[in-house]
Structure 1
Amino acid sequence: MDVSIVIPFLNESPNLKPLCDEIKTAMDTIDKQYEVIFIDDGSTDDGCDVLASCRETMPQIKVVSFRRNFGQTAAMVAGLDYAQGDIVVTLDADRQNDPADIPALIAKIEEGYDMVCGWRFDRQDTYLSRKLPSMLANRLISKITDVRLHDYGCTLKAMRKELAKRVTLYGEMHRFIPAVASGVGAKMAEVKVNHRARTAGESKYGISRTFRVVLDLITVKFLLRYHARPLHFFGMPGLALGGIGGALIAYLTVARLFFGVPLGDRPLLIFAFMLLIIGLQFILFGLIGEMQTRTYYESQNKPIYHVRNTIGIETDDTKKG
Structure 2
Amino acid sequence: MIDAAAISLSVVVPVYNEEGNVGPLVREIVAALRSVTRFEIVYVDDCSTDRTLAALATLKAEVPELRVVRHLGNAGQSTATRNGVKAARGAWIATLDGDGQNDPADIPKLLARRDGAPSDVKMFAGWRVERKDSGSKRWASKWANAIRASMLKDDTPDTGCGIKLFEREAFLDLPYFDHMHRYLPALMQRAGWKTVSVPVNHRPRATGVSKYNNLNRALVGIRDLHGVAWLIARARRTTAEEI
- 3-state SS of the aligned residue for 1:11? coil
Query: Which residue in 2 is equivalent to 1:173?
Result: 180
| CA–CA separation in structure 1 for the residues paired with 2:242 and 2:9 | 28
Output one character per residue of 1:65-119: Cα deviation in whole Å (capped at 9) or x when no partner: 1111111111111011112212100110100000010101111112233110000
> What is aligned with 2:33?
27
1:101 equivalent to 2:106? Answer: yes
CA contact (8 A) 1:109 1:159 kept: no
SS in 1 for 2:207: coil
1:120 to 128, 151, 175: 128
2:3: which partner in 1? Answer: none
Aligned to 1:155: 162
Once the 2 structures are TM-superposed, how far is the Cα of residue 11 of structure 1 from its aligned partner? Answer: 0.3
User: C-alpha offsets along residues 238-278 of structure 1, whole Å, 9 cap, x if unaligned?
Assistant: xxxxxxxxxxxxxxxxxxxxxxxxxxxxxxxxxxxxxxxxx
Q: Quick check: 1:60 aligned with 2:60? A: no
The 3-state SS of whatever aligns with 1:36 is strand
Select which of 216, 220, 223 maps to 1:212.
Answer: 220
- Deviation at residue 35 of structure 1 after TM alignment: 0.7
For 1:142 and 1:206, how far apart are their aligned partners in 2? 21
Q: CA RMSD, aligned part only?
A: 1.7
Larger RCO, structures 1/2 (Cα 8 Å, 6+ apart)? 2
Task: Look up the equivalent residue of 2:197 and give its one-letter code.
Answer: E
Q: Within 5 A, what are the aligned runs for 1:1-321?
A: 1-30=7-36, 32-112=37-117, 113-128=121-136, 130-208=137-215, 209-226=217-234, 305=238
Higher helix share: 1
- Cα distance change, pair 61–122 in 1 and its aligned pair in 2 (3 A): same
CA–CA distance in 1 between the matches of 2:229 and 2:238?
18
In structure 2, stretches of 5+ residues that fail to align are 1-6
Residue type at the aligned position of 2:221: V
What amino acid does structure 2 have at the position aligned with 1:91? L
* Number of corresponding residues: 233
Alignment-mate amino acid for residue 24 of structure 1: V
TM-score, with normalisation over the residues of structure 1? 0.70
Q: Distance in 1 between matches of 2:31 and 2:83?
A: 25
CA contact (8 A) 1:10 1:40 kept: yes
Q: Distance in 1 between matches of 2:74 and 2:143?
A: 29
Q: Which runs of 5+ in 1 are unaligned?
A: 229-303, 308-312, 316-321
Code of the residue aligned with 2:10 in structure 1: it is: S
Q: After TM superposition, what 4+ stretches of structure 1 lie above 6 angstroms from structure 2?
A: none
Per the TM alignment, residue 29 of structure 1 is displaced from its structure 2 partner at its CA by 3.5
Query: Aligned-pair distance for 1:223?
Result: 1.0
SS for the counterpart of 1:114 is strand
Instruction: Specify the SS of the correspondent of 2:14.
Output: strand
1:243 aligns with none
SS at match of 1:147: coil
Tell me the distance in 2 between the aligned counterparts of 1:175 and 1:189: 15
Residues of 1 paired with 2:83 and 2:114: CA distance?
Answer: 22
The structure carrying a bigger strand percent of its residues is 2
